[in-house]
A and B are shown apart, each in its own frame.
Chain A
Amino acid sequence: MGLFVFLPLVLPLTAWPIARLAEQHLHPRTATRLLSGVGALLALCSTLCLALIMVVGTAQLPGNPLPDSWSDPEVREAVPYDGVAGRAAIPALAAVAVAAGHTLLRHRRVRRRAERALEGLPPSSVVVLPDEAPYAYALPGGRGPTRGRVVASAGMLARLDSRERRALFAHERAHLAAGHHRHLLAARLAARVNPFLRPLDTAVVYCAERWADEEAAGAIGSRRVMARAVGKAAMASRGAPSAAPTGFATGPVPRRVAALLGPVPPARTWPPAFTAAGVALWTAAAGAAASALSSANSAVALFLVLKAATPL
């Protein structure tokens, strides 16, 4: 087969330009869905690729549990540098498993702890906590009337006027209604599985916020009030000095406010091919498709090779 079996491992490098272009040129809804989908697909492909390399590369090591015939020269020919690649794939796969497991466990733990914190309160979709510190969150999950709750501190609400409060609640409800936590989790997992996908994670976080901003602006009928709510809330929560290095690119909050003060993003889902947005989409689609095909191809080829080598 040749070097292209390694392709799914490096193709996620295309994530960087894709994330940049999609973030800037696509409607946030399209961008969120596209980027989290592409991220999940590329992460799956690269993990599959690692697993296959490991199987082939380690079959000839003494004491392995795999069938002896899998270490035949014909099989090893399928993967270039099979010995080195196979041995390197073992720790890589272990790291992937640990990282993914860790992310999932942490996700569950935060969710459980947050749910537990609200136990004993009357079941309602909005919870206002008597806390001076300004914060507001959407907490997904749960059943019945507490299915997806918006949690806001009194400190946060006190800093906003009534229209801005409506904007805040509309924003958090938009997160819950669209199930953004799933997109965020998919992107986060993908970034843990293949570090090249990290730009996609950052972009999905930003696009999901933009999506909720636009939904909420539509619901309350004012993009300017939405912008003010985001701006004032950010100013209120700025207490802790941010770890962001100085001179870095403008952070997500000012970009959200600027986007809300600017024109409405076009709602078209698939822009024409010869615009920057079109290029972004097509590159993303092509990259993901190539990665998927290459992984599928490697998988099928390796499967056939292994099957041929297995005495029945």
Chain B
Amino acid sequence: MDDRGTAGSLPAGGGRRRGQGELEAQVLSVLRTAPGPVTAAWVQKHLPGALAYTTVMTILSRLRAKNAVTRQRDGRSFAWEATADQAGLAALRMRRVLDGERDREAVLTSFVTSLSREDEQVLRELLDHANVDHADVDHADVDHADDGPAE
């Protein structure tokens, strides 16, 4: 379930070694082509390459932990269904990275950082000011309204 240190822990069921994220995406896309809730065996049959059943189950459980699939009891096994698409899965995974890593600034240069209450006030005034200015010049010359005050 923890995708920090367990990168290599998948059973080596499928010949070529694939990344864990890639496998998750593949299982999810197969699941999305299913006519309805299907069993893990169905997923295994429709996956490219020969993945072990346990691998498929592992990946399905991981996807479930990320809320990308749901399962319901169907007789003696589970029937699985996709709730997210590939982009949705990527979004879920990315959120976990963003929420889980405090010190990520040096890698992922965020567009903006957090604001304190004072910052928010200052920013609001700056933007209001800019918008008023902008409205004034909009009538005159839109293209050159952006060069800032002449110095």
Contacts and interface: CB of A to CB of B under 8 A. Distances in A.
Interface in A110-145: 110-121, 127-131, 133, 135-140
A247 interface: yes
A274 interface: no
Given A129-B90, A231-B127, A262-B148, A246 B110 contact: no
Size category, B interface: 35 or more
Contacts of B100: 113
**Residue of A130, A184, A205, A232 with most chain B CB atoms under a 10 A cut-off:** A130
A135 to B, nearest CB: 6
Contact of A118 (B21, B120, B126, B133): B21
B14 interface: no
B112 A258 contact: no
Contact of A127 (B21, B88, B90): B90
B118 A138 contact: no
A245 B119 CA distance: 11
Interface stretch (A43-51, A233-241, A283-291): A233-241
Contact of B109 (A131, A184, A238): A184
B117 interface: yes
Given A223-B146, A253-B123, A114 B118 contact: no
Contact of B130 (A111, A131, A228): A228
A114 B129 CA distance: 38
A181 B112 contact: no
A264 interface: yes
B19 A116 contact: yes
Contact of A107 (B21, B90, B107, B111): B107
B109 A117 contact: no
Contact of B110 (A119, A136, A185): A136
A107 B120 CA distance: 30
A162 interface: no
A205 B112 CA distance: 11
Nearest to A109: B4
B146 A137 contact: no
Nearest to B5: A109
A231 B147 CA distance: 18
Contacts of A103: 106
A225 interface: yes
B141 interface: no
Nearest to B128: A231
Contact of A227 (B19, B85, B130, B149): B130
Contact of B126 (A110, A238, A240, A254): A254
A133 B95 contact: yes
Interface string A204-230: 010011001000010001111101101
A139 B116 contact: no
A250 B112 contact: no
A110 B108 contact: yes
Interface in A166-181: 168, 171-172, 175, 180-181
A83 interface: no
A254 B3 contact: no
A248 B148 contact: no
Contacts of B133: 224
A168 B151 CA distance: 27
A198 interface: no
Given A116-B20, A234-B115, A264-B147, A121 B123 contact: no
Given A118-B90, A185-B106, A172 B111 contact: yes
A230 B105 CA distance: 17
Given A110-B107, A116-B3, A138-B108, A253 B97 contact: no
10 contacts: A110-B107, A114-B97, A116-B19, A116-B21, A119-B20, A120-B22, A120-B28, A120-B89, A242-B114, A244-B116
Given A118-B94, A171-B111, A244-B116, 4 more contacts: A119-B25, A136-B110, A184-B106, A224-B145
Smallest CB-CB A-B distances: 4 pairs = A120-B25, A119-B21, A117-B93, A222-B146
Interface of A: 103, 106-107, 109-121, 127-131, 133, 135-140, 151, 153, 156, 168, 171-172, 175, 180-181, 184-185, 188, 205, 208-209, 212, 217, 221-225, 227-228, 230-235, 237-238, 240, 242-248, 250-254, 257-258, 260-264
